[in-house]
Amino acid sequence: MEYSFYDFLKLLGSLAMFLYGMKIMSEGLQKFAGDGLRRILTAMTTNRVTGVVTGMLITALVQSSSATTVMVVSFVNAGLLTLSQSIGVIMGANIGTTVTAWIISALGFKVDIAAFALPLLFFGLPLLFSQKSSRKSLGEFIFGFSFLFMGLSYLKANAPDLSQNPDMLAFVQNYTDMGFISILLFVLIGTVLTMIVQASAATMAITLIMCANGWISFELGAALVLGENIGTTITANLAALTGNTQSRRAALAHLVFNVFGVMWVLVLFVPFTNAVSWFVTDVMGSTDPAVAVSFKLSAFHTAFNICNVLILIWFVKLIERTVCAIIPMKEQDEEYRLRYISGGMLSTAELSILQASKEIHLFAERTHRMFGMVRDLLHTEKDDDFTKLFSRVEKYENISDSMELEIANYLNQVSEGRLSSEGKLKIRAMLREVTEIESIGDSCYNLARTINRKRQTNQDFTEKQYEHLHLMMSLTDEALQQMIKVLEHPEHQASEVNKSFNLENEINNYRNQLKNQNIVDVNNKEYGYQMGVYYMDLVAECEKLGDYVVNVVEASSDTKEKKAS
């Protein structure tokens, strides 16, 4: 078998298409199907058992555990699945892939999703050029989905075709009589082979050929199968390279799950393989050696994965903690999922309102962090650092939009229950708070965009302008801190609320002062008209942000006053 440098370049190109497809599929999913798909997936993965069943069904449908785990990584990257939900689905995918193998061997039926990928692009193209954002996002998802599976197909096609050249592996006969070291060596060979050919089914075919030819025993074939279970995780880990921290954790959880399974099976290797041999020979009554070894390997693969799931399904939280410790969360990868109200409503409406109140406080803290990024952005000079920080502000803007929708939907659900008049007033006020906090996020993003536009002119503010902006932003930051303090303590004193109003007056007066001064400075040619426009845009946006802050404080204090009256 010849494998040229050109073939290697085609393999790298296939990997590039696969990773690009993963990226735009995740982004399209997040924009188009966020809330609806999240609700469906949450319903499908309400507990560990339903998560496992979901993984089995999806894998049986798409006929590939690699495809399932890649999609799961994509869902986690788009914020549609939590890490713990994804672990359950991945466990199910491991069982599903063994069911698929039995179906294929019994019926010869296999769905090739890559065959539908190219025609799908035709349907996705008009959507991609649509003016409506939801259709455009759907088009992005279709293109990403197509590129993903085309890339996966090309990866398999352009990998060295060892299944058609098993003679290349005949040298392994020299290492079959070293006892347990042979078992470990074959686990390693199975892992490396699957990583190279990018398909556990192809490696399984190689294993069956080697066993049927009598090159290796069933026990060493089983060791190769164990290695294949580790090697198959490389696809999801490759897909996670373009994703966020949570998606990388989901891919690592797949690896941890399979590696732990291989470890305990190696400890019980002899009794486990003997039990499988007994089951196939005595219970199934298979006598033909070639057929028997085929059934033994399939039975071993199924038994291993089912037993592994039955053991580890009780340790999902431990796996989650382990991968979180190995891959710590980066600040720029903060996920937008809600912390307090993601688990549904509590037993009483009052407790649900308390949950929502905590979430709104967290929402306010996130927008405050976003404003801090904007302040840093004003003085970020390096292009790479500026781009990263600006992207992070954009991400927080999406987080802000999602949080507003989810908290508002939750509050509307709570309002449908039995509520006291005080509870109804509180929900009305909280809905107003959420809207105004989201507007603060919009203002922060507007500030970042203005800074970005100013940067593209290759001009800079004067020292005096920077001093004024620093003071304006400090006042705005103080107002945000005061707002958070009011939200944190619902039974706040009137003096705390008055501080917010005083800060707002101070911001308004300073804005007016800078507005008048700006006209004088432009006339005196201290800086150009364009710099004056950007400068006043930042000042005006800070003042507008201050208005939103006061609206939040007013909504919070109005509830208290009405309750008192």
Tens-digit pLDDT profile for residues 484-501: 988 887 665 677 788 889
Which pLDDT does position 506 carry in this prediction?
93
Residue 335 lies in a domain: no
438 pLDDT exceeds 80?
Answer: yes
Which pLDDT does position 541 carry in this prediction?
94
Clarify whether residues 532 and 385 are in a common domain.
yes
Looking at per-residue pLDDT, the higher value among 105 and 416 belongs to 416
Residue 333 lies in a domain: no
pLDDT in tens, 366-385: 899 999 999 999 888 888 88
Which pLDDT does position 425 carry in this prediction?
86
Per-residue pLDDT band for 30 (boundaries 50, 70, 90) equals low
Clarify whether residues 94 and 241 are in a common domain.
yes
81 pLDDT exceeds 50?
Answer: yes
Residue 494: both structure tokens together: 């009137």
Clarify whether residues 47 and 100 are in a common domain.
yes
Residues 296-312, mean pLDDT to the nearest whole number: 85
Domain termination site, one of 292, 326, 360:
326
**Contact 307/276 with Cβ under 8 angstroms?**
no
Clarify whether residues 425 and 289 are in a common domain.
no
| Distance of alpha carbon 421 from alpha carbon 314, whole angstroms | 44
Per-residue pLDDT band for 476 (boundaries 50, 70, 90) equals very high
Q: State what percent of residues in the chain have pLDDT above 70.
A: 77
Which pLDDT does position 6 carry in this prediction?
83
Per-residue pLDDT band for 328 (boundaries 50, 70, 90) equals confident
Clarify whether residues 303 and 348 are in a common domain.
no
Which pLDDT does position 564 carry in this prediction?
44
Which pLDDT does position 172 carry in this prediction?
60
**Contact 31/140 with Cβ under 8 angstroms?**
yes
Count of domains forming the chain: 2
| Distance of alpha carbon 562 from alpha carbon 89, whole angstroms | 48
pLDDT in tens, 186-205: 888 888 877 776 666 666 66
Per-residue pLDDT band for 548 (boundaries 50, 70, 90) equals very high
Which pLDDT does position 93 carry in this prediction?
83
pLDDT in tens, 453-473: 998 888 888 999 999 999 999
Looking at per-residue pLDDT, the higher value among 302 and 208 belongs to 302
108 pLDDT exceeds 50?
Answer: no
| Distance of alpha carbon 545 from alpha carbon 476, whole angstroms | 8
Looking at per-residue pLDDT, the higher value among 490 and 447 belongs to 447
| Cβ contacts of 532 within 8 Å, gap of 6 or more | 518, 521, 522
Residue 332 lies in a domain: no
40 pLDDT exceeds 70?
Answer: no
pTM of the model: 0.58
Clarify whether residues 299 and 367 are in a common domain.
no
pLDDT in tens, 153-191: 776 677 655 555 555 555 565 666 677 788 888 888 888
**Contact 447/438 with Cβ under 8 angstroms?**
no
Residues 8-25, mean pLDDT to the nearest whole number: 77
| Cβ contacts of 218 within 8 Å, gap of 6 or more | 211, 273, 277, 293, 296, 297
Per-residue pLDDT band for 513 (boundaries 50, 70, 90) equals very high
Clarify whether residues 315 and 382 are in a common domain.
no
Task: Name the residue among 476, 484, 443 with its Cα closest to residue 360.
Answer: 484
In this predicted structure, which of 71-80, 157-166, 247-256, 321-330 has the lowest mean pLDDT?
157-166
10 pLDDT exceeds 90?
Answer: no
Task: Name the residue among 335, 325, 322 with its Cα closest to residue 247.
Answer: 335
∠ CA 326-327-329, nearest 5°, is 135
Domain termination site, one of 293, 326, 359:
326
Clarify whether residues 300 and 404 are in a common domain.
no
Residue 130 lies in a domain: yes
For the chain, the average pLDDT equals 79
| Distance of alpha carbon 315 from alpha carbon 390, whole angstroms | 39
287 pLDDT exceeds 60?
Answer: no
Residue 101 lies in a domain: yes
**Using alpha carbons only, how large is the chain's radius of gyration in Å?**
30
Q: How big is the chain, counted in residues?
A: 565
Residue 337 lies in a domain: no
Q: Residue 225: which H helix or E strand, with range?
A: helix 218-231
Which pLDDT does position 290 carry in this prediction?
56
Q: CB-hemisphere CA count at 13 Å for 110?
A: 13
Domain termination site, one of 278, 299, 326:
326
Which pLDDT does position 291 carry in this prediction?
59
Clarify whether residues 299 and 412 are in a common domain.
no
Looking at per-residue pLDDT, the higher value among 381 and 564 belongs to 381
Clarify whether residues 52 and 184 are in a common domain.
yes
| Range of 102-116, 153-167, 273-287, 510-524 with top mean pLDDT | 510-524
Residue 331 lies in a domain: no
Residue 129 lies in a domain: yes
33 pLDDT exceeds 80?
Answer: no
Per-residue pLDDT band for 109 (boundaries 50, 70, 90) equals very low
| Domain carrying residue 456 | 343-564
Which pLDDT does position 199 carry in this prediction?
60
Per-residue pLDDT band for 281 (boundaries 50, 70, 90) equals confident
Clarify whether residues 371 and 418 are in a common domain.
yes
Clarify whether residues 348 and 298 are in a common domain.
no
Task: Name the residue among 406, 397, 414 with its Cα closest to residue 434.
Answer: 406
CATH number of the domain where residue 475 is located = 1.20.58.220
| Distance of alpha carbon 507 from alpha carbon 547, whole angstroms | 9
Per-residue pLDDT band for 545 (boundaries 50, 70, 90) equals very high
Classify residue 460 as left (phi > 0), alpha (psi -120 to 50) or beta.
Answer: beta
